[in-house]
Amino acid sequence: MNEALQALRDLVMSRFSYFEKLANLWQSAGATSFEIVGGGEQIMRWDYPGNAAGIVIAPLEVDGEIIGELRVQGLDEQLFFARLEADATALDNLIRYEVELGMLTSELVQNQDQLLALYELSNSMRRYLNPEEILATLCKEAARLCSCDKAFAMLFESGKPKLLIQYPDNFLEEQQAQELHNKARANDRPLVLNSGYNGTKNLLFLPITINNAPFAGLGLANHHKAFSMPVIKLAQAIIQHAGAQLENVILYSETLSQVRMRSELELAASIQLRLLPQKFPSIKGLDIFAVSYPARQVGGDFFNFISHSNGSLNFVVGDVSGKGLPAALMMAMARIAFQNTSRFSHLVNPAKLMSRVNEDLYGDCTDLSMFITAFYGFYEPTTRCLSYANAGHSPVIYCKADGVIQFFDADGPALGVLPVSLSERQEVQFECGDILVAATDGFSEAFNAAGDMYGYDRLLELVKNNRSLTAKQLSDLLFKEVLAYEAGAEQSDDRTLVVLKGIE
């Protein structure tokens, strides 16, 4: 632990600019301070103006022992812990590498001058956090250590353009470098061309293994003599260190990208949650409750309530086809379309309102090959009339106070399927004790570990047998029973429901 702690202190001092950049990145995210702690003592701290509420802490751990912490103030732990943990993991790797490098240094000084030169190369490369800088340093230093006039290095990262670095610049065509790499891979050994290649006096090419596969390579040209075994072994030792450094940098980059994606999804989930009503309107004669749980961080289900000055209520439950970010974006569009139509239109007929929304969304749904099932309702408290239109949405359950129960079946296709809506206006007298459960198919299509579906019959029975509960109590019970049925199986679809119960 003492070696790791000392390595941490040395890293902070030797790479101060890197940690200062890291601190500035946290400032840009809203942090008021960034602190590095080791052995219970502050090693370095950067302070910035702002509200200091909230602190995020990620441990620094090397070989199973915690040697310190990264601390960021002024941010929400839920949103930013994963990002700080990624920074800590990267620093753990740097510390571990620093410790290993220190141990190697002692051995090199005692035993081999050649390996001491390798340390100098590694030391020069570890300052960099992107592959291009590492390859540029590798070319220059490998040419110097191996007494060559020219060098080039290649990197093949999945999903990224091929990277070719040369020293000096442009003495080799990319296609020629690719051919050398292919020959070395095919033979599974260094490629030695002592008779020269493309105007060079002689040339050596060695594949660099990254993640146990040859995805990079180093070429050396114009050695003052023919490439002999000692020079080849030195070059092999060089690429082993280069491969380890490249692997660390690529892993860090991938980890950082994943953390950024998770952070963005968490932010999107937070924004989507705020799009849904956080409070329910107070409507005479109704007990109201609604809730939504996406299968992933974001989803395509939505609900909304629009209350009017005369005491009436518009409400909607919808389900966008698909999951994840595409469904979430379409969900936001659909929610806005329903809200604007309900709030600013003089129409009170749910079927006509549904038709207007379909006109607004049809083009986008067609372009994106998506559709939206929706149940749209209008409640008038003076008459206790509940009118509705159902565009392909299920399940919607209506249970009378006396236990007579039925589904409100869809009479038209989902929104976005046809240029016109075929849903018609329906109505019921919503009396005291009556219950309406407008849910999405994440309830009826829940599966247990054996692959059996929860189904409509269980939903009907559950609502009927518990119709005496309040809207919230019934909602809680529905979620609880479906989760118990799944018995730990992964939630396969978003789940959303609106429960209305008639009261005095």
Confidence of residue 436 (pLDDT cuts 50, 70, 90): very high
- pTM of this structure: 0.52
DSSP string, 434-449: -EEEEE-TTTTT-B-T
Of 197, 209, 206, the C-alpha closest to 231 is 206
The identity of residue 478, as a single letter, is L
CA atoms of 315 and 444, how far apart (whole Å)? 21
Is 70 exceeded by the pLDDT of residue 86? yes
CA atoms of 408 and 397, how far apart (whole Å)? 6
CA atoms of 364 and 367, how far apart (whole Å)? 5
Is 50 exceeded by the pLDDT of residue 110? no
CA atoms of 70 and 342, how far apart (whole Å)? 50
Kindly report whether the peptide bond that precedes residue 168 is cis, defined as omega within 30 degrees of 0. yes
Quote the pLDDT of residue 438: 95
Confidence of residue 180 (pLDDT cuts 50, 70, 90): confident
Of 138, 126, 75, the C-alpha closest to 97 is 126
Q: Which phi and psi (to 5°) does residue 377 adopt?
A: -125, 155
Is 50 exceeded by the pLDDT of residue 483? yes
Task: Give the rounded percent of residues in the chain with a pLDDT score beyond 90.
Answer: 34
Domains along the chain?
1-109 (no CATH), 112-275 (3.30.450.40), 278-502 (3.60.40.10)
Quote the pLDDT of residue 35: 92
Strand partners, 388: 377, 426
Kindly state the tokens that stand for 145.
């250590």
Is 50 exceeded by the pLDDT of residue 109? no
CA atoms of 219 and 191, how far apart (whole Å)? 9
Query: Average pLDDT of 388-399?
Result: 95
Quote the pLDDT of residue 12: 86
Is 50 exceeded by the pLDDT of residue 294? yes
- Give tens-digit pLDDT for 123-158: 655 666 677 888 888 888 888 888 899 999 888 766
Confidence of residue 111 (pLDDT cuts 50, 70, 90): very low
Q: Residues 6 or more apart from 145 whose CB is under 8 A from it?
A: 117, 118, 121, 234, 238
Confidence of residue 232 (pLDDT cuts 50, 70, 90): confident
Average pLDDT, the chain: 84
Quote the pLDDT of residue 369: 87
- Give tens-digit pLDDT for 51-70: 777 899 999 988 888 989 99
The identity of residue 283, as a single letter, is I
| CA distance between the termini of the chain | 70
CA distances from 438 to 99, 162, 499 (A): 61, 53, 6
Quote the pLDDT of residue 293: 83
Position with higher pLDDT, 96 vs 160: 96
b/e per residue 472-483 (b: at least 16 CB within 10 A): bebbeebeebbe
Quote the pLDDT of residue 90: 87
The identity of residue 173, as a single letter, is E
Alpha helix positions (H), 165-313: 174-187, 229-275
Virtual CA dihedral for 120, 121, 127, 129, nearest 10 degrees?
-160
Quote the pLDDT of residue 127: 62
Of 369, 368, 350, 336, the C-alpha closest to 421 is 350
Confidence of residue 389 (pLDDT cuts 50, 70, 90): very high
SS (H, E, C) 3-33: HHHHHHHHHHHHCHHHHHHHHHHHHHCCCCE
Quote the pLDDT of residue 453: 92
Q: Residues 6 or more apart from 51 whose CB is under 8 A from it?
A: 32, 74
Of 22, 159, 7, 40, the C-alpha closest to 83 is 22
Residues found in the chain: 504
Task: Give the rounded percent of residues in the chain with a pLDDT score beyond 70.
Answer: 86
What are the DSSP E strand ranges found in 342-422? 372-380, 385-391, 396-399, 405-407
Place of tokens 């596969």: 213
- Give tens-digit pLDDT for 323-353: 777 777 788 888 888 888 887 666 678 999 9
What are the DSSP E strand ranges found in 147-243? 148-155, 163-167, 191-193, 203-210, 213-223
Distance of CA 11 to the CA centre of its chain: 30
Q: Which phi and psi (to 5°) does residue 88 adopt?
A: -65, -40
CA atoms of 442 and 483, how far apart (whole Å)? 11
CA atoms of 50 and 38, how far apart (whole Å)? 25
Query: Average pLDDT of 455-484?
Result: 94
